[in-house]
């Protein structure tokens, strides 16, 4: 497999970035995510992929609901915080205005373009990320916006390398 070509093709898509947040048993988590996509129109379904290395993945395994925030091109600092730090070491939410939805998921008030989703399935196909398929419960987007794209954040160093694991087998 030509890894350079694979990298060029995936970078060419230049996806909008999202910040996924969730909570389980009183623990909140969230991280910057580039792997995500709509997967059904009616019913509205959305998929996201979480790295097995991430604190957000470990909390997400126990969670039923997630918020999918679409940061704007102005939100680089927020993306940097959620994409380079880990909730296993510090509270990434501190300093941000947060509200909590009825399922307990923390919502970033700085990112009003967002969806609330409920998990349908979790697929581990043996890769370093797991797919979470969801049904969209609500969506809000107050006006047009310029999304923060992969090309805006590709220089950031992720909080975890994809091959990291909290517990070594």
Ligand X SMILES: Cc1cc2nc3c(=O)[nH]c(=O)nc-3n(C[C@H](O)[C@H](O)[C@H](O)COP(=O)(O)O)c2cc1C
- Binding residues (CB under 6 A) for ligand X: these are 29, 31-35, 49-51, 54-56, 83-88, 129, 150, 153-154, 156, 158-160
Greatest Cα pair distance, the chain, in angstroms, is: 47
| Of residues 43 and 155, the one with the C-beta less far from ligand X | 155
CA distance 123 to 154: 26
Task: Tell me whether residue 42 or residue 122 sits nearer to ligand X (CB atom).
Answer: 122
User: 135 vs 151, which CB is nearer to ligand X?
Assistant: 151
CB of 88 to ligand X, least distance (A): 6
CB of 129 to ligand X, least distance (A): 6
* DSSP-assigned beta bridge partners for residue 46: 38, 134
For residues 165 and 31, what is the distance between their CA atoms, to the nearest angstrom? 16
Residue 65 CA, distance from chain mean position: 12
* Closer CB to ligand X, 21 or 142, in the complex: 21
**Pair 67, 115: CB distance under 8 Å:** yes
Q: Which residue is nearest to ligand X (CB)?
A: 159
């Amino acid at each position: 497999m030509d890894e350079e070509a694979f990298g060029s093709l995936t970078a060419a898509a230049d996806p909008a970035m999202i910040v996924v947040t969730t909570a389980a048993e009183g623990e909140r988590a969230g991280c910057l995510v580039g792997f995500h996509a709509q997967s059904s129109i009616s019913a509205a379904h959305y998929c996201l992929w979480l790295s097995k290395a991430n604190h957000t993945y470990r909390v997400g395994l126990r969670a039923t609901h997630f918020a999918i925030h679409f940061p704007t091109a102005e939100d680089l600092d927020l993306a940097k915080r959620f994409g380079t730090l880990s909730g296993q070491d510090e509270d990434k939410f501190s300093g941000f205005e947060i509200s909590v939805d009825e399922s307990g998921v923390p919502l970033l008030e700085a990112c009003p373009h967002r969806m609330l989703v409920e998990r349908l399935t979790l697929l581990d196909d043996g890769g370093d990320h797991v797919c979470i398929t969801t049904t969209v419960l609500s969506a809000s987007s107050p006006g047009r916006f310029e999304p923060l794209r992969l090309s805006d954040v590709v220089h950031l160093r992720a909080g975890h390398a994809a091959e990291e694991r909290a517990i070594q087998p």
